[in-house]
A and B are shown apart, each in its own frame.
Chain A
Amino acid sequence: MKTLRDIPVGETATVVKIHGEGSLKRRIMDMGITKGTRIYVRKVAPLGDPVEVTVRGYELSLRKEDADILEME
């Protein structure tokens, strides 16, 4: 399974499925990441985590660990 963690900096990918449930999934969806959303990976924080992505025209930061629930292609 390819997740958001595997998308290199500077590339864009599409969400296929959001795995898991509960607060994390709800939070991620509330921030505008849903099935079919295009996500551009902007950069990685100086210490290697979290990552900064562009979703629906705004900037979002999320941890790689949390990014793992996003299946991408």
Chain B
Amino acid sequence: MEGKKQELPHVFTGSVEHAIAHIEESIQDKVDPINLRWYAIKIFERDSKALEQLKLDEDLMRHLDAHIRDCEKELDDDAESIITNQRYVYITKLVGECVKKKHAAGTLSTSDKIDRVVTNRWLALPFFAGVMFLVYYISVTTIGTYVTDWTNDTLFGAWIQPGVQSLMERAGASDWLISLVVDGIIGGLAAPIGFVPQMAIVFLFLSILEDCGYMARVAFIMDRIFRRFGLSGKSFIPFLISSGCGVPGIMSTRTIESEKDRRMTMITTTMIPCGAKLPVIALIAGFLMGGAWWMAPMMYFAGIGLVIIYCIILKKTRFFAGEPVPFVMELPAYHIPSIKGVLLHVWERVWAFIKKAGTILFLCCAVMWFLGSFGVVHGTFGLVDAGDSLLAVIGGVLAPIFAPLGFGTWQAVASSLSGFVAKEGIVSTMSLLSSLGTEIEAYDTSMHAAFAAFFPTSIAAVSFLFFNCFDSPCLAAISTMAKEMGNRKYFWYAILFQNVAAYCVALMVYQLIGVGIGQVKFGPATVAAAILFIGLLYLLFRKDPNKKYVEAERRDALRA
């Protein structure tokens, strides 16, 4: 405090203060005077990190330890507990002297009254389901769709695209440039940008729920379920936010203390279909069954199912084995969230998405347009039909890898490739490749022929959807994950895991269900899928190889 040495209050009892004073004296010349008391307390607590840092010699340590042990004997507790305990005693004394409570102990505050209903044994789950339904009903089907439709059809479809096109034509721009700007960039960006208002509404609701204190109650209610597959109730919030966008979802894992749980949540949270995957789901649903409403919920359930399966499997591996971390969490009193706080949250999250759309997606659109429009025909490089483009060549090379999944056509592979950059890119690439322009937001019958060429069977389209929804997330989410994991090795394992797992899932869906309904011929790939399925069941139901060790450890800890 401005260099002025202040007398610190002595909060501990006589013998403890005495021991600390003794420690202070003997380490005086080893540490900065400002930190002296802090170090002394840490030594008293036998804090391993502080001791390691100071490297005190053994004789001194033994001498100090005698003092500490005297205190421990006198107070019948270990040093660390003594410090914590006496600090709390001091705090309680201070609070008792100067804080006056509005509610006398034993009476119910407003927050208590709310909690009596909201986390009631019988009402809590129905209430929670109701809240979630309302949030998604309002943001996805009513207001959300209205705003999104307006952005897509009016703002982009009727104003910006035709406007830019006529402007450029008048200015005498060449055909390829007009095509790049209007079809490639604006067309490609329209879908994701049109999605922003809907996302903002989802985030608005989630921020309100978070700030008023309900999210902590959600963790409280859901903990029992999540613990069954090795996570805590705190993981629920990232999963929930990921249904809007994976980037803030991954960032919200910061509230999870255990590093293992946090990594596991990050790896699995992007399995929940995010907003950007919705257009892809809508497109495939439109192609397959005229836009069946249950397709989107089915993908959500598939996502949730995969999260559970992955967690159970991962928890039994060496990387994630270990005792479940303590779930000790404060339940804050309910309060009305501040408008500024909520808007700030929404803005941060939406802005992260817009930034991504403006940079990565922009680049992705331009590159995809280039690859899809240029190619070599008769030895000359130039504008070509989509079928002769560079994209067709790349897609064609990679196609055999995806043939066992049923979508070994270059168009489907090229779309998946753009999906690695951004999931919204799948829709824009498909619309580009079906050469039907940009109006692909809603499925119409004119696209049926083009789609039938992409996917020979309907189960192939489903397999394509599964692969693209459950592989590694978009670049923005991947880079967030790299940053949040803080460990390159784990990050690459995570990406590898996500893609290999998605491939296996799509393979099983296509081969096993496909053969079952008679759309796929039995072949070597079917056998591989069946073996994979058995392997999956084994991993899922095998006994946890680490369990014995963990339990023994816990028993020892309890006995001590």
A residues at B contact (CB < 8 Å): 18-24, 26-32, 34-37, 43-50, 52, 56-63, 65-66, 68-69
Contact = CB atoms under 8 A, between A and B. Distances in A.
Interface centre among B77, B84, B219, by most A CB within 10 Å? B84
Contacts of A22: 557
B329 A45 contact: no
Contact of A45 (B84, B223, B333): B223
Q: Which size bracket describes the interface of B in this complex?
A: 35 or more
Given A36-B85, A50-B223, A63-B227, A21 B330 contact: no
Given A31-B330, A35-B81, 16 more contacts: A18-B81, A21-B557, A21-B560, A29-B84, A32-B88, A34-B88, A46-B125, A47-B221, A47-B225, A49-B224, A52-B331, A56-B92, A61-B220, A62-B327, A63-B223, A63-B327
Contacts of A30: 84
Nearest to A37: B88
A61 B119 CA distance: 12
Interface string B296-328: 000000000000000000000000000011111
A52 B519 CA distance: 54
Nearest to B83: A29
B84 A52 contact: no
A45 B119 contact: yes
Interface string B325-368: 11111111100000000000000000000000000000000000
Nearest to A58: B330
Contacts of B115: 59
B80 interface: yes
B278 to A, nearest CB: 31
11 contacts: A19-B560, A21-B560, A23-B326, A27-B257, A34-B85, A45-B119, A46-B122, A46-B124, A52-B331, A58-B333, A61-B331
A37 B324 CA distance: 26
Contacts of A61: 219-220, 223, 327-331
B558 A34 contact: no
A60 B558 CA distance: 22
A28 B81 contact: no
B330 to A, nearest CB: 6
A59 B331 contact: yes
B49 interface: no
Interface string B117-128: 001111011000
Nearest to A51: B220
A35 B83 CA distance: 11
Contact of B84 (A34, A56, A62): A34
Contacts of A69: 558
Given A27-B326, A34-B85, A56-B92, A43 B331 contact: no
Q: Closest 4 A-B residue pairs measured CB to CB?
A: A47-B224, A59-B331, A34-B85, A46-B124
